[in-house]
Structure 1
Amino acid sequence: MIETDILIAGGGIAGMSAAARFAADGHQIVIVDPAPSDIGEGTDLRTTAFLEPGIETLKKAGVWDAIKPTGAELRVMRIVDAGGAERTPRETADFDGAETKNGFFGWNVSNKAARVALMARLAELDNVDFRFSTTVTAFKGTSRFGEVTLSDGQTVRAKVVIAADGRNSSLRDMAGIKHKRWAYDQSALVFVVTHNKPHDNISTEIHRTGGPLTLVPMPDLDGKPCSSVVWMVPASRADELNAISDEALSAEITHDTMNLFGPLTVASPRAVWPMISQVPSRLIAARLALIAESAHVVPPIGAQGLNMSLHDIETLAELMAKAKLHGEDIGATPLLKSYERRQLPKTVMRVGGIDLLNRASMFEPKTLRDLRYAGLTAINRIGPLRKLAIKVGVGK
């Protein structure tokens, strides 16, 4: 029998961030993940944009100083409305990080670099036990502890169990928490490009029929300006694009970015992700809290996904730190209910808001596309709406 304060199921970026953040407050952590400890070198150059509130959480976790040098600053968030089949920008809205208190929106970091930095941080901590190639096979919540059976046959008793095991969370299912999921017949094609024109630390999101096409700044690659691409298109179109050569794909994305960056060159392998949204009916059960993709899944618009996860983590961390300070139970039902009261309404609103934005980006009828254009124009040119957009954009 292993006894600990917190057991975290899921060793992705969110799960490891949670482990580092909770450990910084002195909690004993066991974290388990089905992946092996050797993550390999690989060629995956996909990225995550860490926005300002999430960066504060990573600072508290003691890992941001290692992550930051691997990424590129996001100084401006640019939204371009390009109508439907047209290839001419109709409205360009620049939201400048200078309008925020820190002077920037965030940093774009490769997933691999973030994972390496987090693994190194956890390896330094005496109060973190990271168990690779291990899954949760059974869970039971009681009035005193959460009891978890691991795939290696061991049993762990924790004051609280954190489900960070993804959109298909087995812990969520074991706890009997239902969820709603819906699809869009849309996929995101993800890869990296180099280009001639510098990105100037501007993240560019182009909207036209089918979904947004986003280029997010990265550090230079082989001496050339570099950006990560998230190209959301109808599922059949994603399959077609994924099947063509790098040269042909380079030509297609150069065409669809309207030459804003000059000629683009595909510089990495590709991945295709079917687009869904998902939200659970609850965020807690006895001795269990859901975070990250077990708690919410959204299309990759506005870099909200992982930053929502870091907000989950910070909310829980603050509640548990207060309980620990007063000698109270960090997994007690009143504490978990407080977490749910704070996070579930925000989660539902943000998932719904991103769903609406995604559907708006897919508009085909001209009247609806013109309505989207009018909305962007209003946000760009009306001061209070602009300030609200910036506040929402940074995840507040």
Structure 2
Amino acid sequence: MTTDIFISGGGVAGLIAACLFGSQGLNVTCVDPAPPVTERDADGADLRSTAFLQPAIPVLELTGVWHRLAPHAMPLHTMRIVDAGGDAALPRATRDFDATDISEMPFGWNLPNWLIRRELVARLAELPNVEFLPGTACTKIFTRSASAKVWLSDGTIRNAQLVIAADGRNSLIRDNIGIDVKTTRYGQKALAFAVTHPIPHNNVSTEIHRTGGPFTLVPLPDFDGKPSSAVVWMEKGPEAARLHALPEDAFNAEMSERSCHLFGPLTLASKRGLWPIIAQVAERFSAERVALIAEAAHVAPPIGAQGLNMSLSDLSELLELSKTLPLGSKDMLGAYDKKRRFAVRARVAGIDLLNRTSMSQAAWIKDLRSAGIGAIHDAAPIRKSLMKLGLGTR
């Protein structure tokens, strides 16, 4: 069977890729060994959230799914950075970065990942030119100059002009075509969950730095009539495992203290997920007839909502190149690699530095971090430039 594009991986990035290229009229096959979990409280649900930054919205509109997501999305008008690196768990430097400084729109819109999957799967069902095979894995790939051939776990074969590897940080496609990665391990894990709190978030995303990594609360729509936020809590691995195993009441108490009680007592409103934190970049983002995207190409610590937004930039670049160059050609994929690899390396290096600074227990680094937050915020040209850089705009 022949298709224009074969996508290995049915996570959020792979599903967006299938919707994006399918909406442009291309024939697409998308596979994943595990069916997507599309219910909040189901086993295996992805309890993380994604803040789609401004440049992501035109891409989501092209997929035909943004109108489905927008009613559930929480606008992010302000990014609040809090340094609490003193002797007590109290804020000692707080600065607000307001979207109105650089735009008439919010910085972005936050949504839970399980809901994003639900709406993407619903969109795929509307596209007769997209073949979505959940529960099916890619087992082998062979490429030649004219096309690629992929073998599936159901015993069938697909021939494609372009293979998109969206199969994660342990990508089978990447390994099969012999692309190495550089991996940085921090000894950290991230707890991901949702909370309710008595003090409204007022569309403010709050990132609290102490030690171990940031504690970030990102606004969600109200849950059970109470203000709600998605939380990513990064800690050294053993500490994260200890927190993950705590009884709910004890966990509520510890996370309320870690949040400096900025929103009052926090109450767990979902299951807790636990994720390893690494930085990883592939040595190349393309090979013959293959493009790497998302975590097959790059992984970064969850700071500044960069992960999936970098993935959407991957897809935007592939889409633009496909309009002027033959699909899956050497010229198309060479241009993709050249543009995306260098941009991603620079961004991951910046995130790496921020994470190491946030992890540090050294008093002088904490003091430097606290002073730096104020200096960056109070110098308006620097503040605005960094906000635009974080969004990926000019």
What band does the TM-score fall into relative to the shorter chain? over 0.9
Task: Report the Cα offset of residue 312 of structure 1.
Answer: 0.3
Query: What's the CA shift for 1:41?
Result: 5.8
Counterpart of 1:28 in structure 2 is: 27
Partner of 1:52: 54
Q: 1:115 to 1:102 in 2, by over 3 A?
A: farther
**2:79: which partner in 1?**
77
Q: In structure 2, which of residues 346, 350, 353 is the aligned counterpart of residue 353 of structure 1?
A: 350
Shift of residue 264 of structure 1? 0.9
Whether 2:366 is the aligned partner of 1:369: answer: yes
Query: Structure 2: how far apart are the matches of 1:295 and 1:289?
Result: 9
* TM-score, length of structure 2 as denominator length: 0.96
Conserved in 2, the CA contact under 8 Å of 1:188 and 1:238? yes
Match of 1:180 in 2: 182
Between the aligned residues of both structures, percent identity stands at: 50
Partner secondary structure for residue 277 of structure 1: strand
When the two structures are aligned, how many residues end up with a matched partner? 390
Distance 1:371 1:286, change over 3 A: same
Q: For residue 261 of structure 2, what is the aligned residue in structure 1?
A: 259
Q: TM-score, normalising length from structure 1? A: 0.96
- State the SS of the aligned residue for 1:217: strand
Rounded Cα–Cα distance in structure 1 between residues aligned with 2:104 and 2:140 = 44
Note the C-alpha offset of 1:103: 1.9
- Aligned partner of 2:117 in structure 1 is 115
1:289 offset after TM fit, Å? 0.3
Q: Determine helix, strand or coil for the equivalent of 1:138.
A: strand
Aligned ranges 1:165-244 → 2 under 5 Å: 165-244=167-246
Deviations 1:196-251 (A, max 9, x none): 00000100000111110000000000000001110111111111111111111111
Measured against aligned partners, the alpha-carbon deviations of 1:327-357 in whole angstroms (never above 9, x if no partner) come to xx21110110000111000111111110110
Alpha-carbon offset, residue 22 of structure 1: 1.2
More displaced, 93-102 or 61-70? Answer: 93-102
Distance 1:38 1:194, change over 3 A: closer
Deviation at 1:392, TM superposition (A): 2.0
Shift of 1:46: 2.9
Superposed displacement of residue 39, structure 1: 4.6
User: What are the Cα deviations for residues 303-324 of structure 1, in whole angstroms up to 9, with x where unaligned?
Assistant: 110111011011101111233x
The corresponding residue for 2:157 is: 155
SS in 1 for 2:305: coil
2:244/2:274 contact within 8 Å kept = yes
Q: CA deviation at 1:291?
A: 0.2
CA distance in 1, matches of 2:207, 2:242: 22
For residues 184 and 81 of structure 2, the distance between their equivalents in structure 1, rounded to whole angstroms, comes to: 26
How far does the alpha carbon of each residue in 1:273-300 deviate from its partner, in whole angstroms, 9 at most, with x for none? Answer: 1111100100011000000000100110
Indicate the residue corresponding to 1:326 in structure 2: none
2:37–2:114 Cα contact (<8 Å) kept: no
Secondary structure of the 1:17 match is helix
What letter matches 1:244 in structure 2?
L
CA RMSD of aligned residues (A): 1.3
Does structure 1 retain, via aligned residues, the 8 Å contact 2:38–2:115? no
